Amino acid sequence: MPRQIGDVVLRVEDLHTYCFTRWGVVRAVDGVSFSLRQGEALGIVGESGCGKTMTALSLLRLVPRPAARIVRGRILLEGDNLLEKTEREMRAIRGRRISMILQDPQTSLNPVFTVGNQLIEAIKIHHKDGRRSLVRRAIDGLKQVRVAAPERRVQDYPHQMSGGMKQRVVGAIAISCEPRVIIADEPTTSLDVTIQAQYLRLLREIQEATNLAVIFITHDFGIVAKMCDRVMVMYAGRVVESGDVRDIFNRPSHPYTQALLSSVPTMDERVERLYSIAGQPPALWDLPAGCRFAARCPHADERCRRDYPPSFTAGEGHTADCWRLEDACEPSQFSGPRA
């Protein structure tokens, strides 16, 4: 693969994003740390409500206000702490250095403007150029995501395009200002399978051409298996396991990862019965003191319910928050949530 994994471009340290609601404080992101290298693809996997989208929005400082606030942590993009930037400075960073592809092109494009205008709007913020050269850039952008006849297509409105085509336009907007990091939040859930395959291949090609760092937010381990180098599994606001894709698939160490992987039916063999996880994730405003998965975990004991486990190293670059790993290895660092 011509893609080269380079230096760390994004480092997130102990990020906490809380939502202050009338039911109490929802700890949507509760102590998430990770780093992302140039050219790397990182998958953040979890079910709805696990905090994966809030993590992504925090990186862009776009958490829904006033309810949500980033209360603690550092987000270092090429050494700059994004949490110390003013809103004006952030506007110069979004799109130019870090950008995002949203889930549903149906709602993320404005129906009353042509796609060309929407591309130009994004480019104009960062490039003070004449109208003609902006249109030129917009056409180049569409060309880059392989939209056929881009000269004609820039004048189209979103409703004149199919779902796959619209998602390409969203992708073109995201990469139009050559960012270093792209966050793709469930980029293909609204697409059909054959269109999804086209789109994922396109993303891979763009990544190879530009050496972009990509974060895939998904609930689907299939996307991780196909696209990612490393993966982070989130549960109830915390990263419960992270590591190299092959390590996670071959030796999942956290019971939640193990359960998730075995509860998905596969195309390649027939199973009689799927493994199913009993119960549901805990409410984020009323989290248990110990391990958050303890109530659903087949191996949970007294200590799991009482104390949150530290991160243990399960292999090189592979950590999991589970007490069962204590005998097997040393704790890498204490990273449990502070009271």
Partner 1 sequence: MRAEPILRAEGLKKHFPVTEGLLWSTVVGWVKAVDGISFSIPQGQTLALVGESGCGKTTTAKLILRLEEPTSGQVFVDGKNVHALSGDVLKEYRTIVQAVFQDPWSSLSPRMRVREIVAEPLVVNRRVAAAEVESRVAEILGRVGLRPEQANLYPHEFSGGQRQRIAVASALVSDPKLIVLDEPVSALDVSIRAQIMNLLVDLQKQYGVSYLLIAHHLATTRFMAHEVAVMYLGKIMERAKTEELFKNPSHPYTKALFSAALPAHPDIVREEMILSGEVPSPIDPPSGCRFHPRCPFVMPRCAEVEPQEKAIAADHVVACHLY
Judged by the rule CB under 8 A, the positions of this chain that interact with partner 1 are: 47-48, 162, 164-165, 192-198, 201, 219-226, 245-246, 249, 259-260, 263-268, 270-271, 273-278, 280
> Residues 297, 217: contact at Cβ < 8 Å?
no
CA-CA-CA-CA torsion for 198, 203, 204, 208, nearest 10 degrees? 140
In whole angstroms, the minimum distance from the beta carbon of 280 to partner 1 comes to 5
- State which residue, 275 or 334, has the beta carbon closest to partner 1: 275
In whole angstroms, the minimum distance from the beta carbon of 71 to partner 1 comes to 27
- State which residue, 172 or 260, has the beta carbon closest to partner 1: 260
- State which residue, 101 or 191, has the beta carbon closest to partner 1: 191
- State which residue, 86 or 276, has the beta carbon closest to partner 1: 276
- State which residue, 201 or 306, has the beta carbon closest to partner 1: 201
In whole angstroms, the minimum distance from the beta carbon of 220 to partner 1 comes to 7
In whole angstroms, the minimum distance from the beta carbon of 95 to partner 1 comes to 28
- State which residue, 86 or 194, has the beta carbon closest to partner 1: 194
- State which residue, 79 or 279, has the beta carbon closest to partner 1: 279
In whole angstroms, the minimum distance from the beta carbon of 226 to partner 1 comes to 5
In whole angstroms, the minimum distance from the beta carbon of 293 to partner 1 comes to 11
In whole angstroms, the minimum distance from the beta carbon of 255 to partner 1 comes to 12
